Chains A and B, each alone.
Chain A
Amino acid sequence: MKNTWRIILSGSGGQGMGVAGKILAEAAFLQGLNTTQSQTYGAGVRGDLSQSGIIISNEDILFPLIEKPDLLVILNNKSYGHFAPILNSNGARTILIYDQDHAPPPKGKVNRLSYGFTVVNKAREIYSEKGACMVALGILTGLWIPLDKTNVSQAIQEAFPGKTGLQNIKCFEEGLKLAEKKHPLRTSKPFVKGRNIFIFCFPLYL
């Protein structure tokens, strides 16, 4: 059965959107899944809006970028403007995860698939704002994306060698704990091997 997750992480530059996306993709890669990752590129990464998109699938990923996310993580208010079209048109299917202290959804826009968590403040409490995305990764893998926790930890360790890695793993584990508190939400099913579409493609000879 097809099991594909399209995830977008959106926040301010400096919150680690790019590296968190890379870690998620690496963890999926370690698990033998197909994955692609892309991120905003430009002046935005230095403080403005910054996003990272990750696709994780048990099948070949044909189009590697994301039109409509299954999971949308929002860590700053500015992101709502950017994702308004997606949240309004596809709101029923996209699961919104937001920082309840810093990025509550605009009034009247909350649907039944929106969940608030203490993300940034939690990261500040145990490490620094730089760990915010790791907390979010803990929540995502705890509740939705069926990735092996050891793979995520390993990917974090590879992205941040040494002490920083341990701090970030702590943030990730804190995210898992937050997820545990909301376990009735859990919908994840383990990945199974899917169909490969690329083998149906064949080269021509001139």
Chain B
Amino acid sequence: MTIKKLLTGNEACAYAAVNAGARFFAGYPITPATEIVELCSKLMPSNNGVFIQMEDEIASLAAVIGASLGGTKAFTATSGPGFALMSENIGLAAMVEVPCVIINVQRYGPSTGIATKFSQSDVMAVRWGSPGDHSLIVLAPSSVQDCYDLTVEAFNLSERFRTPVILLSDAALAHLREKVEIREPGELNLYQRKKPSGPVDGYLPYGSLHNDVPVMSNFGDKHILRVTGLVHQASGYSSDNPRVAEELVQRLARKIDNYQEELPAPFFYGRQSADLIVVSFGISARASLEAVNTANNEGFKTGMLELRTIWPFPSKKVKELCSGAKKILVVEANRGQVREQLISCGIPPEKLRGINKQNAEVITPSEVLSALKEENS
């Protein structure tokens, strides 16, 4: 059944997680993600799940990884300073291939910054916070409905790819109340984790691959599971063999990067053959959308690209769409972290203009509109 409700972004994330089948939450209170922690302390026990408040964010993600290895869909929610602590175990989750979801409600930083204020400056931190080479999935919602839909998607993708998936929300979305269509479990397409079916003796946890993703058992199952953050062979025992290491680390990237068409695609608004294209994500995409809509109503010919998957960066699609544009405006509340990515795609820097704001306030439609008009004149 689909129910319509007025919810905040944080509430939508918590309800989505429950409806996606999450039955374990471990977290640590942090503004502006606290409402997720509080709501989960009610929702988890009332749905036969587990809520636990850990001693810090390191332990929170550790407990989430443990629960996931026990066979339960698990997640946590935090903000910048807590995310910094989680980076250690994100690396482990990527290495041992544990499905888990981390909701990062971005706040103003660096460090403690302004706990209650907004920013979009964790784009690079979520991707590169953990050492070592591996791929990772990061999704960015731009509305409360998106908070719901992409949280469900995050669980599906984490189970499908056996990888940590990060939902990059922000302080403005977290406390914004909007109408949400809540599709309940029966209405949702939920991906179920693949389980081994062969003989118990001689089972290799990393031995049978499905689209480069291992079919792994859970702790406590008949098929014995061995996981280690050390480089490991198919058996799950450690190895320092250079060939084993190379194959493992390349597969960790390949299993996601080669299947990008399964990740949420960007949205495009307006004219596809526009001279002027606005690229944005998260709540800034809403300001951009209003600006583009107003401009086009006034006779301008502009288009807008909203990124929904931020990592792996949809380079191919972005480059293809932006190739015809004379000017590309990148709207983001940071110093230009996504803009850097557009340059990496091969778009000439002189075509790019960043609309950046770093005063802890949301970028407004009139700011984007005046930049649009400047570029058009």
Direct A–B contact in the complex, CB atoms closer than 8 angstroms: yes
Q: Are A64 and B176 in contact (CB under 8 A)?
A: yes
Bound state CA distance, A200 and B267, in angstroms?
11
Bound state CA distance, A38 and B362, in angstroms?
12
* Interface presence of B376 (CB below 8 A): no
Q: Are B116 and A42 in contact (CB under 8 A)?
A: yes
Contact of A204 among B6, B143, B171, B265 (CB under 8 A): B265
Bound state CA distance, A78 and B301, in angstroms?
43
Bound state CA distance, A177 and B295, in angstroms?
43
Which chain B residues border A200 with CB–CB below 8 Å?
Answer: 269
Interface 1/0 per residue, A32-59 and B, CB below 8 Å:
0011111101110000000000000000
> In the complex, what's the smallest C-beta–C-beta distance from B196 to chain A, in angstroms?
31
What's the tally of chain B residues with a CB closer than 8 Å to chain A? 37
Which chain A residues border B172 with CB–CB below 8 Å?
Answer: 38, 65
Q: Are A204 and B178 in contact (CB under 8 A)?
A: no
Bound state CA distance, A38 and B178, in angstroms?
9
Q: Are A36 and B293 in contact (CB under 8 A)?
A: no
Which applies to chain B's interface (DSSP): helix, strand, loop or mixed?
Answer: mixed
Interface of chain B residues 162 through 217 with chain A (CB within 8 A): 171-172, 175-179
* Interface presence of A139 (CB below 8 A): no
* Interface presence of A99 (CB below 8 A): no
Contact of A37 among B177, B267, B283 (CB under 8 A): B177
Which chain A residues border B224 with CB–CB below 8 Å?
Answer: none
Q: Are A62 and B6 in contact (CB under 8 A)?
A: no
Interface 1/0 per residue, B311-329 and A, CB below 8 Å:
0001011000100000000
> In the complex, what's the smallest C-beta–C-beta distance from B116 to chain A, in angstroms?
4
What's the tally of chain A residues with a CB closer than 8 Å to chain B? 27
* Interface presence of A1 (CB below 8 A): no
Bound state CA distance, A203 and B321, in angstroms?
13
User: Which of A21-29, A101-109, A110-118 is the interface stretch?
Assistant: A21-29
Q: Are B265 and A29 in contact (CB under 8 A)?
A: no
Q: Are A41 and B175 in contact (CB under 8 A)?
A: yes
Residues of A within 8 A of B (CB): 22, 25-26, 29, 34-39, 41-43, 61-65, 67, 197, 200-206
Residues of B within 8 A of A (CB): 4, 6, 31-32, 115-117, 143, 171-172, 175-179, 260-261, 263, 265-269, 283, 286-287, 289-290, 293, 314, 316-317, 321, 362, 364-366
